[in-house]
Amino acid sequence: MKVNSYIVKGACLLMTLHITGASAQLSNAITTGNQSDTYYRIGEDLRQYAMPELRNLQSKGAVDNIKALSKTTGVSFAIVQSDVYQTYVNLEKNDPDPAVRQWAADLLNSLRVVAPLYNEEIYFVVHKDSPMQELQDIEGKRLAIGLNGSGANLTAKNIYYKLFGKAPVVVEPFIEEGVVGSDEGTKYVRSALWHLAHPEAGPEERKADVVVIIGGQPLPLLQRLGKDYKLLASNIKNDATEALLKDYSIGFADQKNYPFLPKHMPVMMVQSYLVTAQFRDKQRNDFVKKFAGSLCKNYDKLYEHGHEKWKALAWSPQRPRLPSLLSGWRYSDVTKPILEACLPQGVTQPVASSNAPAFPCSMEDRAIGLCM
């Protein structure tokens, strides 16, 4: 599968992740998404309820977030889709440039997960009169998938390639006159949706058959869609669609969240991860450690006052054992012991008995109540 050159253009070798003798940090940041994205709202929740000194930076999507983490001083965290990992695996294996292959390998070796966040729904939107009914029907159709490097762009290409063994026909992003939005990404999606509802209008190069949108449910943009639209159902019917379940899962778009739907619709979902990296700089690692402690301490505030998706986390102080990750991903050695030792507020750690047996105990065992 050919990986778009956007992913590596201007990217520094990963040695920038291992900053030695780093200059004094003015601030620390998390890079998320545009203002209409669930990622951005999650970043705002972390800043507001968990760590006020954390800066929440806008971005164009998952690849932008990885690049910012790898080369931007002060960016210690990012939110990405789990399938971004496969993009860099492909780059490491298949890029003709040895330097790029090495860069990708170093990047993969340094990325670490703080915690899985939630599943994001993947919406394949078409005109209500389209003969397409299911995900398998998109072969050969024109797809509007956003900017190169965005999460929707990356995921749509990955799904299409896994289904059909080739790249999709892509409608280049554009902004229709009169379309408004809080950022360019939102304007691109709204413009593509407008043309989907008005297939007779505008030039041929702006006509898409399918608009791909990714975001945590409920997604405000989809909540406002009218009866000119429908979603394609993601049904597992053959080996190709079943193979998608290695990277994705099946969920439902809830009809109560999206009035334009006649019923609940099965949709593909991709896991989102809160990630960091292996840093050599002690100050950077201290901030990462402080962040994990603050996430533990302030989880209740996030759950009560934050985005609805905080309620979907597999991790919590009540269930501190972190779940298994998708193939290739690894947890941060800095944050994992802190999160897995986290207790609900008001609960104290039991004191070890003076008669406890004297044998070694790993942090992982301590976190689940052994060797106490």
The confidence score (pLDDT) of residue 26 equals 40
Nearest Cα neighbor of 229 from 204, 205, 253, 202 is 253
The CA–CA distances, whole Å, from 237 to 135, 232, 307 equal 10, 14, 34
pTM for the model stands at 0.76
At residue 27, the pLDDT reads 55
Cα gap 333→288, rounded to integer Å: 11
pLDDT for residue 187 = 87
Report which of 200, 198, 202 is spatially closest to residue 174, judged by C-alpha positions: 202
Pairing of strands 169-170, 54-57: unpaired
* Angstrom distance (rounded) from CA 222 to CA 213: 9
How far is 260 from 336, CA to CA, in rounded Å?
Answer: 42
Spatial separation of the C-alpha atoms in residues 63 and 301, rounded to whole Å: 30
265-277 and 249-253 as β-strands: parallel, antiparallel, unpaired?
antiparallel
Q: Residue 313: what pLDDT?
A: 92
Tokens representing 101 are: 């292959």
Share of the chain residues as helix, strand and coil, in percent rounded to the nearest 5: 35, 20, 45
Place of tokens 């705002």: 44
Helix (H) / strand (E) containing 117: strand 111-127
Can you give the pLDDT at residue 54?
Answer: 95
Q: Which of 293, 291, 298 is nearest to 345 (CA)?
A: 298
Take residue 61 and report the two structure tokens written for it. Answer: 């999507």
Give the pLDDT of residue 85: 82
pLDDT of residue 21: 34
CATH superfamily of 5-274: Periplasmic binding protein-like II (3.40.190.10)
CA distances (Å), origin 209, targets 44, 125, 185, 366:
34, 9, 19, 54
Residue-by-residue pLDDT tens, the chain, 372 positions:
444 444 444 444 343 444 333 333 445 999 998 887 889 999 999 999 999 999 999 988 888 888 888 767 779 999 999 988 877 887 788 888 888 888 888 888 889 999 999 999 999 999 999 999 999 999 999 999 988 878 889 899 999 998 999 999 999 988 888 888 777 778 888 899 998 888 887 778 888 999 999 988 888 888 988 889 999 999 887 788 888 888 899 999 999 999 999 999 999 999 999 999 988 888 888 999 999 999 999 999 999 999 989 999 999 999 999 999 987 899 999 999 999 999 987 554 443 333 333 334 343 333 333 333
Q: Quick check: helix, strand or coil at residue 71?
A: helix
